[in-house]
Structure 1
C-alpha cells in the first residue's frame, strides 16, 4: 500500500521519527491509525450512550436535575472514606 501525504503531514511524520520516539515513518503511521481506530470506538460508544439516553428520555424514564444531584450527594455521603 502506498500513501500520499501532504508536505505538512510528511514534515510531521519526519519530526516524530527525528524525535527518537519512533524508529521509522511506518511506526508513526501505525500509531496514528491505532489512535484513529480508538477514537472511532470511543465515539461509537458515546453515540450509543446518547441514543440510549434519548430513548429513555422519550419514554419518560428521566430524573430531574435537582433530584439527580441530591441522589449523587447522598451516595457520596454513604461511600466509604478512602485513606490517602
Structure 2
C-alpha cells in the first residue's frame, strides 16, 4: 500500500522526529494509529454509556419520574443567571 502525505503531514512527522522521541517516521505513524484506536475505543465506550443513561431516563419517564422540560429549562436559566452574577 502506498500512502501520500501532504506537506503539513510531512512537517508534522519531521517535527516529531526532531523532538527526539521517535527514531523514524514509522514510529510516529504507529503512535498515531495507536492513539486513533484509543480514541475510537473511548468513543465507543461513551456511546454505550450514553445509551444506557438514555434507556434509564426513558424508563424513569415511563414511570412518571421525569421532570417537566419547562421546569428544567427554568432551572438552567436560573443557574446561568447566578453564575453570571459571580
Same fold? TM cut 0.5 = yes
What TM-score do you get using the length of structure 2 for normalisation?
A: 0.68
Instruction: Say whether residues 1:12 and 2:12 are aligned partners.
Output: yes
Distance apart, 1:63 and its partner CA? 8.6
Q: Quick one: distance in 2 between partners of 1:20 and 1:63?
A: 55
Where does residue 50 of structure 1 map in the other structure? 50
User: Gaps (5+ residues) in structure 2?
Assistant: 68-86
Computed over aligned residues only, the root mean square deviation of the Cα atoms, in angstroms, reads 1.9
Q: Moved runs in structure 1, 4+ residues, more than 2 A?
A: 61-64
How far off is 1:46 after superposition?
0.4
TM-score, length basis structure 1: 0.69
Q: How many residues align?
A: 64
User: After superposition, where does 1:1-84 map in structure 2 within 5 Å?
Assistant: 1-60=1-60
Cα drift, residue 5 of structure 1: 1.1
| 1:41-69 residue CA offsets vs partner (Å, 9 max, x unmatched) | 000000000000001100117798xxxxx
More helix per residue: 2
Which runs of 5 or more structure 1 residues have no equivalent in the other structure? 65-84
